[in-house]
Structures are given as structure tokens and as C-alpha cells.
Amino acid sequence: MNITEKHAQPIRSSTSDTSYTYKLRQIALTASTQPIKTLRPSHKQKPIGASTELCEPSEALYSKIETVFWTAKGEFFEDGMESTFSHQLNYSVKRYGGDALEVITCLIVYEKVDPEVAGEALRWLGRINHAETYEYRRWLLERSLSLSSTRVRDGAILGLASMDDKHAVPYLKFAVEKEQCFELREDMELVLKQLES
């Protein structure tokens, strides 16, 4: 059973925002098929009132980011050129940090958005200058190397090339072994050479 079959039912429910986003996080983090043990991005705890608990993205934030992805479906993307979508993605990540990445992860990993838009998002996630979400963004790019769409995998490759982080080497090696598309396999091998040099 693949990920999309396993989670074919919508994950939104009438329960509270906290239980909804907890379920979203659990699904996204258990979806990994990568070879390295520590795939889960680190989630910082932030004080809220008198207690300390994980900050969860609200359903409103989920809807806001989902709308950004859906409205980008008709947008024309040019390689390396900024777009309305890339600006909105950049703003969302910098404004909402890990909460935005949790929503983006759900939308991309569970293929809830157009593959071309998801691929464009992954390209830009590798370029965003935001230290707080760096590990999470890299994790999502590494995770996306195994998704079904060639456009999404291509976006993940380009995002990892932009990050230029040796941490991605074992993920790329694993992806090269599994890749069926000759052109993408060549691209992965080029990025591997870049990272290993």
C-alpha cells in the first residue's frame, strides 16, 4: 500500500485545531522511506502562556497556504525567475516558520497539489534564506526525492543543488538507485558530484 492509498481519506476533521495538526504532523513524519534513521526535523518548543507545548499550525494557516498553492496552478513558471507564488512561499516560510513547513510538507508529500506547483515550491525552498527552517526544508527536499511525480523529484533535486549541503549525499545515492527516469538520474548524479567535491 502506498502513501496516497494509506491516507486517501481527508485528514481534516471536526476536532480541535491541535488534534488536527497533531494528526497532520504524525502522518507526515511517518511517511518517510529514506535510508537514514533521523529524518524527522527537530521541532522546537515554545512557551505558550504558563505551559510549554509544541506550536501547531492552525486550520486557518493550512487554508491560507493551501490557497497559495491552488492559485499558483495557473501561473507560468520560468526557470530561475521569481513569481507571485515564489514571493508568497518565501513570505509564508519566513513569517510562519516550521508551522508553514508542516502544511507545505502535507500538501507535497501527500500529493494534494499540482505536481508542477509542488516542484516549483521545492526549487524555491532550497533557495530561501531562513536559518530557523533550514533543516526542515532540507528534510522535505530529501523526502521528496522518492515521490511519484517526475516534476516533484526534479524540483527536489534543484532545491538540494541550491542548498549545496553534503548531508543530502546519502539520500541522493539512495534516490539514484531507485530512479527510473534517465534524465532525472543524470541530474541526481550531477548534484551528487557537486556535493561530494
- pLDDT, residue 23, reads 54
Residue 36 lies in a domain: no
Residue 169 lies in a domain: yes
Residue 178 lies in a domain: yes
Secondary structure class of 16 (helix, strand, coil) = coil
Residue 165 lies in a domain: yes
Tally the domains of the chain: 1
- pLDDT, residue 76, reads 86
Cell numbers linked to 65: 497556504
Q: What is the pTM of this model?
A: 0.73
State the Cα–Cα distance between residues 79 and 16, nearest whole angstrom.
40
Burial of 62 (0-12, 13-18, 19+ CB in 10 A): buried
- pLDDT, residue 127, reads 96
Per DSSP, which regions of 43-196 are E strands?
Answer: 46-48, 51-53
Check if the beta carbon of residue 139 is closer than 8 Å to that of residue 35: no
CATH number where 107 lies? 1.25.10
Residue 45 lies in a domain: no
State the Cα–Cα distance between residues 96 and 60, nearest whole angstrom.
12
How high is the mean pLDDT in each 10-residue block of the chain (197 residues)?
36 44 49 37 36 58 95 86 94 96 96 96 96 97 97 97 96 96 96 95
Q: Which domain holds residue 20?
A: 3-25+55-73+81-196
Residue 48 lies in a domain: no
State the Cα–Cα distance between residues 5 and 110, nearest whole angstrom.
10
